[in-house]
Structure 1
Amino acid sequence: MTATGADSASADLRDRWTRALVAARPTGPDGPDPLPYADNLVARWAEPQRRYHTSAHLIAVLDHIDTLAAYAAEPDLVRLAAWFHDAVYLPDRSENEERSARLAERALPEAGLSEPATAEVARLVRLTVTHAPAGSDTNGAVLCDADLAVLASAAGPYAAYAAAVREEYGFVPDDAFRTGRAAVLRQLLGLPRLFHTPHGAREWEAAARRNLTAELELLSAGP
């Protein structure tokens, strides 16, 4: 991406953050300036250790939430949760979701969000550990489906996604990575359903399972 393209994407992200935050907080446009919080989050999503969990992933998740927004009880809280769901991301750490949720719990009250709304955003961030929302959890269903929608990509984009995940774990030897990644794929394939919204079930479920199965077969074949 060119510098101009990156600047345009960052400006679009800042605008999307501002719209979601202003819509979600009780004071609306009257409150703390949203842009310092946007700047902090945009910088986090651009950190050098990221290969898949980048601002491009954030944009994709936000786009998918827009597609699924009608299913959510509180779509703007889901959008805020998307911003925070991998805001803390170190590939060699296992507590990224918890640390991201705690960041939301610190930042959002300062940004003018109510306590119940902040708690809901943090709950949604923690839900991305399992991607298993309860049947009545419409906010959780939308966030989890949006986060996993990449699994239903066409063959080329899916291969690029898998390669980016491998790059993030470049410090892991090949054999160990294949073993760990295969376990993740088997866990996903073992779920009764990957997607929980009607749109996700209809449009993404079958394609995602095909991609996961194909990747697992490649991993099982070895180098």
Structure 2
Amino acid sequence: MNILKQTFIRLLANFTDNESLKMELWTEIEKNYSDKKRHYHTLEHLDNLLIRLMDVKDEIQDWDALLFTLYYHDIIYDALKSDNEEKSAELAEKRMKQMAVPVEKITLCKEQILATKSHLKSADSDTNYFTDADLSVLGQSWENYSLYAENVRKEYSIYPDIVYIPGRKKVLTHFLSMESIFKTDFFYRKFEWQAKQNMQKEIELL
């Protein structure tokens, strides 16, 4: 059993003994993130996120809520729609209610998923760790960053360059105009400088 599935099943075991429900919910996650239209928002993305968050696990206040956020934050993803985060948060709430997850965890999970829409600094430190981990791909080596940028382009392949390029530049410029891309000291020190270099370079190449 891979670490992603194992971690999910273990998480669900904290809230339900229903084995068939656990497998059903994992299968839904696996199916959605393996959709052929996805090139970046995949199981590999979840895997990378889990690795990044494990690095800061000791800093996290509510690990279970954060794991639900991880698995559900991109469960609904359609490049043509602008309400993916809202739809993902709704589905997360529905699934968590099936297992009687406490309401405060559900609320936190939904807020964290919605925070990935703007990646602004939150008053909640767990949320900042999550959005930082979500953006950590920006601060990888240029080789890895280029692959990420290519995969994002593939997800938006329905749009011609004349539409995609200005939109992509707008997103990158938005991040570069932030006081800091990463909101936590850990991720800031690790990725901020490289992320800015990468995004600047991508803008120049577009």
Q: Please, which of 161, 180, 189 is the counterpart of residue 193 of structure 1?
A: 180
Q: CA deviation at 1:196?
A: 1.4
Tell me, which stretches of 5 or more residues in structure 2 are unaligned? none
Equivalent positions of 1:77-116 (< 5 A) are 77-116=65-104
Aligned residues: 204
Matched AA of 1:191? M
Normalising by structure 2, we get a TM-score of: 0.94
Q: CA deviation at 1:153?
A: 0.8
Q: CA deviation at 1:117?
A: 0.9
Q: Contact 1:90–1:96 at 8 Å: present in 2 too?
A: yes
Q: Please, which of 10, 14, 22 is the counterpart of residue 5 of structure 2?
A: 14
Name the CA distance, whole Å, in 2 between partners of 1:111 and 1:50.
28
Q: Contact 1:18–1:38 at 8 Å: present in 2 too?
A: yes
The secondary structure found in structure 2 opposite 1:204 is helix
1:149 aligns with 2:136: yes
1:180 aligns with 2:167: yes
1:64 aligns with 2:52: yes
Q: CA deviation at 1:40?
A: 1.0
Normalising by structure 1, we get a TM-score of: 0.87
Give per-residue Cα distances to partners, 1:30-55, cap 9 Å, x unaligned.
53332221111111111111011111
1:211 is aligned to 198
Matched AA of 2:29? L
Give per-residue Cα distances to partners, 1:177-197, cap 9 Å, x unaligned.
110000000000011111112
Q: Contact 1:69–1:75 at 8 Å: present in 2 too?
A: yes
Q: CA deviation at 1:138?
A: 1.0
Name the CA distance, whole Å, in 2 between partners of 1:44 and 1:123.
21
Matched AA of 1:37? L
Q: CA deviation at 1:19?
A: 2.2
1:137 aligns with 2:124: yes
The secondary structure found in structure 2 opposite 1:57 is helix
Q: Contact 1:31–1:112 at 8 Å: present in 2 too?
A: no
Name the CA distance, whole Å, in 2 between partners of 1:16 and 1:65.
13
CA RMSD across the alignment: 1.4
Evaluate the alpha carbon distance shift between residue 108 and residue 89 of structure 1 in structure 2; reply closer, same or farther with a 3 A threshold: same
Q: CA deviation at 1:20?
A: 2.7
